[in-house]
């Protein structure tokens, strides 16, 4: 579920598409109309932060400035007649054009504020299927697939901390009620030394086995299959879109090209993975990309976190694809002209 800060940045960006400051900040916001987004939707997220004392007031100003920059450079100063907001809905397909805002059904905007995570998917979708075009719903627990013995050992250590535990012997038999009982117990105490050691071993096993499994799959794939996987990981889709956000206090304003344009200009030369468990299961990745015209090589790096999203032993693990290379250095991510923030 999207956080209130995520809603603030997305709706703040939308506000910047139409907002013309009169000097009466924030009172002049009361009269603003966002075509396509009802006041009852955007005002509760925006107005409390716009008023003096809002903890995310500066973040709101940066989101508004990004919307204003998009209006100036892409819409050439024209106020849009329709803005659609996804409301935090998750894309069903990994090939979808990323969009938090759709402007007049033509321009797609993704808002990304101080985040290096470009994709959230299931480990099996990435490792076994190389993000082929399918839904991103999780299948069975990845930890069960690649490190069942280590998962069972960690579960037994956690289960042993519950007096007269009624939890099942086998970790695969945990149901919703049992998981809730286990979660409450683990939150209420510090992990035992045996539990910490078992979790470290689980992280090591998952990282190594995931790396080996992914590496074998990549080595057996064709170049088009590896390139498509990279497209999904970097969210390069069938159509262009704009990525607006911040990195620290600096604005991020980029146009992400479509897959056809990327193939015309660039070529994936090599994709490598390395296990790098760091407190949780992790696999590092590195893509070597060549510009066909200039023959220049760009290295794009990142890592995949494989973790439970709702606490240890809670549900199926997910895979978060992170990019450590600055977004503006990724082939296909093209800068939009910078513009100066408007202060109120």
Question: 131, exposed or middle or buried, with CB in 10 Å at 0-12, 13-18, 19+?
Answer: buried
pLDDT tens-digit series, residues 44-79: 999 988 886 667 888 999 999 999 999 999 999 999
Please give the structure tokens belonging to residue 169.
């012997």
Q: pLDDT tens digits for 97-124?
A: 899 999 999 999 999 888 888 998 999 9
Average pLDDT over residues 3-27: 88
Structure confidence at residue 1 as a pLDDT band (50, 70, 90)? very low
Average pLDDT over residues 197-211: 96
pLDDT at 168 over 90: yes
For the chain, the domains span: 4-89, 121-335
């Amino acid at each position: 579920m999207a956080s209130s800060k995520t809603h603030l940045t997305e709706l703040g960006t939308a506000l910047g598409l139409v907002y013309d400051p009169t000097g009466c900040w924030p009172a002049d916001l009361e009269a603003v109309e966002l075509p396509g987004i009802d006041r009852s939707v955007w005002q509760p997220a925006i107005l409390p932060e716009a008023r003096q004392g809002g903890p995310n007031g500066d973040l709101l100003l940066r989101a508004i400035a990004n919307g204003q920059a998009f209006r100036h450079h892409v819409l050439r100063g024209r106020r849009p007649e329709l803005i659609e907001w996804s409301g935090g809905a998750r894309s069903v397909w990994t090939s979808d054009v990323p969009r938090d805002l759709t402007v007049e059904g033509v321009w797609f905007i993704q808002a990304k504020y101080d985040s290096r995570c470009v994709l959230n998917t299931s480990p099996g979708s990435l490792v076994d299927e190389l993000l082929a075009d399918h839904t991103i719903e999780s299948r069975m627990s990845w930890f069960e697939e690649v490190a069942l013995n280590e998962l069972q050992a960690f579960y037994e250590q956690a289960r042993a901390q519950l007096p007269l535990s009624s939890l099942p012997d086998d970790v695969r038999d945990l149901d919703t009620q049992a998981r809730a009982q286990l979660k409450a117990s683990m939150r209420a105490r510090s992990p035992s030394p045996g539990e910490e050691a078992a979790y470290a071993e689980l992280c090591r096993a998952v990282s190594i086995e995931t790396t080996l499994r992914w590496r074998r799959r990549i080595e057996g794939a064709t170049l088009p299959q590896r390139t498509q996987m990279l497209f999904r990981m970097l969210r390069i889709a069938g159509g262009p879109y704009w990525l607006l956000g911040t990195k620290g206090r600096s604005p991020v304003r980029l146009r992400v090209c479509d897959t056809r344009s990327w193939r015309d200009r660039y070529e994936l030369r090599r994709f490598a993975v390395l296990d790098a468990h760091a407190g949780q299961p992790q696999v590092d990745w590195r893509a070597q990309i060549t510009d066909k015209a200039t023959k220049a090589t760009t290295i794009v790096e990142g890592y995949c976190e494989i973790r439970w999203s709702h606490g240890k032993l809670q549900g199926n693990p997910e895979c978060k694809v992170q990019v450590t290379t600055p977004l503006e250095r990724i082939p296909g991510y093209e800068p939009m002209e910078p513009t100066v923030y408007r202060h109120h």
